Structure 1
Amino acid sequence: MSSIIVAKQEQRQIRTYEKNEKLLIQEGGYISPIPNLWEDILIGVVLKKPILLKGPSGSGKTKLAQSISEFFQQPMHSVNCSVDLDAESLLGFKTIISKEGQTVIEFVEGPVVQAMKEGHILYIDEINMAKPETLPILHSVLDHRRMLTNPFTGEVIHAHEDFTVIAAINEGYVGTSPMNEALKNRFVSFTIPYLAGVQLREIIQNLFPQAGVSLVESIMNINEDLKKQVMNGLLSEEAASVRSLLDAMALAEHIPVRRAIQYAIAEKLDDKMEQKLVMELVDTWVK
């Protein structure tokens, strides 16, 4: 592990990290399908670089952010972006309260302000779902200045030295728009692919220790076929979501595999032909 990460851990006085992926699984953490990806992202965090996680739905971006929070023992504040996201959702809002018999106006701090002041992680999920005009308010937070003038209070906030920003995007999905260059250039970007092979099998076996060998094999084979059809352009990316696959596995411990895949994967797809293809793939492995 990079000495810069170890040094940062000592600075924050947190426990020593053991380079053992099984430990991360047991703690519900993220496992990287790409060598060095996990450590490279940690280095970016230590260097105070805003981190952008790009990948399909269900590839583990939120789990990765949660694992970083666990690794550094740093609380995380989440912002779920949508077209309705506004400055108040990010920074906070004024409200009228009764205090010592008097009516006063108090400012309730939002996730950005809280994370900056406390040195916590700010996780911005689906950042490309937000309206482009909403996000420029974060530009000074994300660049070398690491500061913000709160338009609601006039307060100038300088970020705590441990303040970290992690954002995630699902590229090409309905309702998303390309990030403007001024915003994108403030991030260090990492592509987060789906888990596969030995790592995926290990997660399944750890999460479902009572599952039979034949059930695990069926789920693994179905997943491989789904990924192939995604790569061939015949299925949407969400058909190969690890999150959905684990949902299917949980159901399959109690109901037939075919129905489990139908509920957890096929029914989530909007295209009827894609739904049919998923079930045809299942039928090649489940009789």
Structure 2
Amino acid sequence: MSTLPDKIDQIIKERKLLFQQNKTEEVNPYVAQSEALLIDTVISLALGKNILLKGPTGSGKTKLSESLASHFGQPVHSVNCSVDLDAEAMLGFKTIIEVDGKSRIDFVEGPVIKAMKNGHLLYIDEINMAKPETLPILNGVLDYRRQITNPFTGEVVKAKATFSVIAAVNEGYAGTAPLNEALKNRFVTFDIPYISGDVLLSVLKQESILKDEKLIQLFVSLSSDLTALVESGRLPEEASSIRALVDACDLAVYIPPLRAVERAIAGKLDDDREKAAVMNAAETWFA
């Protein structure tokens, strides 16, 4: 990564010192098609902004969030959104515990409360999968107030200064709903495209157990063809998922590449014509 501004670099160093007692898991760094994406997301988090990552499934949004957390040395608490997401899943729930032989009600903190109290990062995956009426509870968490009144305990929780939110969306998928303007206005937004060419080659070398560089290059070429088919509307976006491509590379260590593509990429599609299109593209490179 290019040299960051001195003030931002100092913030990163201070956070790493602050959280060094929390052993954050080391992850391979996210490799972006444009280095500006990495620089801008790091600066945004260092300044205490919430960031929204927009991109197709498998484009690396979760990987980028993990890389950012590792960069700052901060633990991450995750919320996985669905139509069933409710306040308890985000904030926590009451339960009965035994203390000295007596029963009492205790509150088990959820990921939002934990992240706020500890100044950790909060990752909200597929935020546009949640019901629109569920998310307003986070408005005060995401804006300048950085606080919430816990409806289950009445406690006013004020986030520590290092707390920030990373959210991810897959736009246009079944079950998703557009984010309202009030919610979007609380984020700095980044588009996460699929990577290609030498950048993809580097990622496959880093993430896959496949070490045959010539074979990896063929998978990069296949990815280019699949992306073109996606862009022309002949395949759904998941057909050019980087995650699925890594799976195919891993399988190709032990089984023929065509079978690896069939299992890891084509097999995830429901339409027989789409499966055939993937395999036809694969046969161009692996026949």
Q: TM-score, normalising length from structure 2?
A: 0.93
Aligned 8 A contact 1:83 1:131 in 2: yes
Does residue 10 of the first structure (1) align with residue 13 of the second (2)? yes
1:160 Cα deviation after fit: 0.4
Aligned 8 A contact 2:209 2:250 in 1: no
Does residue 49 of the first structure (1) align with residue 49 of the second (2)? yes
**Gap runs ≥5 in structure 2:** 19-25
Secondary structure of the structure 2 residue equivalent to 1:224 = helix
1:209 Cα deviation after fit: 6.5
1:68 Cα deviation after fit: 1.0
Q: Which residue of 2 aligns with 1:35?
A: 35
CA-based RMSD of the aligned residues comes to 1.5
Within 5 Å, which residues of 2 pair with 1:1-287? 1-14=4-17, 27-208=27-208, 211-287=211-287
Q: TM-score, normalising length from structure 1?
A: 0.93
Aligned 8 A contact 1:4 1:46 in 2: no
CA distance in 2, matches of 1:188, 1:265: 32
Pick closer, same or farther for the CA change 1:77–1:208 going to 2, 3 Å. closer
Pick closer, same or farther for the CA change 1:183–1:209 going to 2, 3 Å. closer
1:27 Cα deviation after fit: 4.0
1:116 is matched by which residue type in structure 2? M
1:204 is matched by which residue type in structure 2? L
1:201 is matched by which residue type in structure 2? L
Secondary structure of the structure 2 residue equivalent to 1:153 = coil
1:272 is matched by which residue type in structure 2? D
Pick closer, same or farther for the CA change 1:7–1:62 going to 2, 3 Å. same
Pick closer, same or farther for the CA change 1:174–1:204 going to 2, 3 Å. same
Pick closer, same or farther for the CA change 1:215–1:108 going to 2, 3 Å. same
CA distance in 2, matches of 1:13, 1:174: 39
Secondary structure of the structure 1 residue equivalent to 2:104 = strand
Aligned 8 A contact 1:14 1:72 in 2: no
CA distance in 1, matches of 2:179, 2:247: 31
2:136 is matched by which residue type in structure 1? P
Moved more, 185-194 or 6-15: 6-15
Q: Which residue of 2 aligns with 1:18?
A: none
1:222 is matched by which residue type in structure 2? L
1:208 Cα deviation after fit: 4.4
CA distance in 2, matches of 1:185, 1:160: 21
CA distance in 1, matches of 2:161, 2:242: 35
**Gap runs ≥5 in structure 1:** 16-25
Aligned 8 A contact 1:249 1:260 in 2: yes
**Offset from partner CA, 1:260-285 (integer Å, 9 cap, x none):** 00110111112221111011111111
1:161 is matched by which residue type in structure 2? A
CA distance in 2, matches of 1:95, 1:82: 23
The size of the alignment, in residue pairs, is: 277
